[in-house]
């Protein structure tokens, strides 16, 4: 039996308010939901080579029933599709299919598709509406919410991007059943991050995830955390949104150093979280018992807590120097005083970062 869908609002300045709908088997009705939010009749669904064969037809049928014509553009699955050349390809396919400023984009897939399709929507005809239909844990708890879109440069992750809030997020949790085990597990790194910065008690719930019933409520709780942070600091100008980068400064550099093939996003973030815990204890005496709780949650989902020597500390540090968070030779780093109490600091030194990486060798 399905529970009723959960609705969460993201309250930004109009017209950027939107609803996140989380529930089981809600893809079948996505056309009607979209039609309630947008009065446009032509869209492009952007998806990847794993997700499109599973869900694109269902979405297209639902759109058709709601009187919306759709085209499908599919890119290869994986982080390497998050590139400017794919944005160009998508935009040109949209032009060829007759799309214009009266069209909208549906991102159907995980965080890679959300970020890529979101950036395409933000630049196509100087910006057309975006609907997010996230199909991974990472994208349902985090990336589909908040309007950060972007692609990678060879120099680093997400260096080219734009803010482009979606008009609606439809997170059908039944889609998570087709995720391979590794991709399912990696998603919990972002939920563990949310627990670390906002809700330490949620670590217990994460440790007790069983089947779909409490997974839905856990996803909703995470979506709510993300929504509230975004409401407080939409453009990451005040510091609150930067707290979401806990574990990401080093994690992103590890992901890039691995060449976007070695680690899934959440796996690199797992390593980044262990490093950030060490830095937190150096900076703010973050209690080791709390650090262990984070580490145990990562281990529960088979997330890596050790980094192979073939990815050198120097390569990670070099990548970090090109990071957006690196300003005037100083890194803006998020560290914890305790679970739920993060602080943004520019006092973290390169030596401390090297030491933190030594702890995961």
Give the residues lining the site for ligand NAD (CB under 6 A): 48, 50-51, 54, 77-79, 82, 109-113, 115, 135-136, 138-139, 142-143, 146, 148, 157-158, 175, 178-179, 183, 186, 190, 264-266
DSSP 258: T
For ligand GLY, the nearest residue by Cβ is 244
190 given a catalytic annotation: yes
248 given a catalytic annotation: yes
Angle between helices 84-96 and 111-123 (to 10 degrees): 60
* Distance, CA of 197 to CA of 334 (rounded, Å): 9
Q: Which residues of 174-203 are buried (b: 16+ CB within 10 A; e: fewer)?
A: bbbeebeeebbbbbbbbbbbbbbbbbbebb
Q: Does 241 bind ligand GLY (CB under 6 A)?
A: yes
Q: Which residues pair with 330 in a beta bridge?
A: 327
Q: Which does 139 bind (CB under 5 to 8 A by kind): ligand GLY, ligand NAD, none?
A: ligand NAD
Residue of 79, 186, 190, 255 marked catalytic: 190
Q: Which is nearer to ligand GLY, 99 or 148 (CB)?
A: 148
For ligand NAD, the nearest residue by Cβ is 111
* Distance, CA of 325 to CA of 321 (rounded, Å): 9
* Distance, CA of 151 to CA of 170 (rounded, Å): 22
86 given a catalytic annotation: no
**Is residue 41 classed as helix, strand or coil in its secondary structure?**
coil
CB of 59 to ligand NAD, least distance (A): 12
CB of 98 to ligand GLY, least distance (A): 33
# chain residues binding ligand GLY, by CB under 6 A: 5
**Sign of the four-CA dihedral 138, 310, 331, 284:** positive
CB of 152 to ligand NAD, least distance (A): 7
Q: Which residue has the tokens 């709601």?
A: 66
Residue of 33, 82, 148, 293 marked catalytic: 148
**Is residue 47 classed as helix, strand or coil in its secondary structure?**
strand
Q: Which is nearer to ligand GLY, 86 or 265 (CB)?
A: 265
Q: Does 244 bind ligand GLY (CB under 6 A)?
A: yes
Give yes or no for a contact between 148 and 163, defined as CB atoms under 8 angstroms apart: yes
* Distance, CA of 301 to CA of 304 (rounded, Å): 9
Q: Which is nearer to ligand NAD, 230 or 348 (CB)?
A: 230
CA-nearest of 87, 88, 106 to 27 is 106
265 given a catalytic annotation: yes
309 given a catalytic annotation: no
Among 79, 93, 142, 186, binds ligand GLY (CB under 6 A): 142
Positions that interact with ligand GLY (CB under 6 A): 142, 146, 148, 241, 244
| Residues catalogued as catalytic | 126, 148, 190, 226, 236, 241, 245, 248, 252, 265
């Amino acid at each position: 039996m399905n529970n009723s869908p959960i609705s969460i609002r993201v309250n930004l300045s109009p017209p950027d308010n939107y609803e996140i709908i989380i529930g089981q088997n809600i893809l079948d009705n996505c056309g009607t939901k979209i039609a309630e939010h947008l009065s446009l009749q032509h869209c492009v669904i952007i998806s990847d080579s794993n997700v499109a064969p599973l869900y694109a037809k269902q979405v297209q049928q639902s759109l058709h029933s709601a009187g919306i014509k759709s085209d499908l553009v599919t890119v290869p699955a994986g982080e390497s599709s998050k590139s400017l050349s794919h944005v160009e390809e998508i935009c040109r396919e949209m032009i060829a299919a007759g799309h214009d400023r009266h069209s909208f984009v549906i991102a159907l897939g995980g965080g890679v598709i959300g970020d890529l399709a979101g950036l395409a929507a933000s630049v196509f005809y100087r910006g057309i509406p975006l609907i997010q239909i996230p199909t991974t844990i990472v994208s349902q708890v985090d990336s589909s919410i908040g309007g950060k879109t972007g692609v990678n440069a060879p120099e680093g992750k997400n260096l080219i991007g734009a803010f482009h809030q979606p008009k609606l997020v439809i997170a059908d949790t039944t889609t998570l059943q087709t995720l391979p085990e590794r991709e399912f597990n990696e998603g919990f790194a972002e939920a563990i991050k949310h627990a670390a910065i906002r809700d330490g008690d949620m670590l217990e719930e994460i440790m007790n995830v069983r089947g779909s019933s409490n997974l839905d409520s856990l996803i909703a709780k995470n979506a709510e955390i993300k929504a509230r942070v975004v409401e407080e600091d939409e453009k990451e100008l005040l510091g609150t949104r930067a707290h979401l980068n806990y574990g990401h400064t080093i994690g992103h550099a590890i992901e890039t150093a691995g060449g976007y093939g070695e680690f899934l996003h959440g796996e690199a973030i797992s390593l980044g979280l262990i490093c950030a815990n060490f830095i937190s204890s150096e900076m703010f005496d973050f209690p080791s018992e709390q650090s262990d709780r984070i580490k145990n949650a990562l281990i529960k989902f088979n997330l890596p807590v050790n980094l192979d020597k073939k990815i050198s500390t120097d390569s990670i540090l070099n990548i970090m120097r090109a990071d957006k968070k690196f300003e005037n030779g100083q890194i803006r780093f998020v560290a914890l005083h305790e679970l739920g109490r993060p602080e943004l600091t520019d006092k973290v030194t390169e030596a401390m970062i090297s030491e933190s990486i030594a702890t995961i060798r």
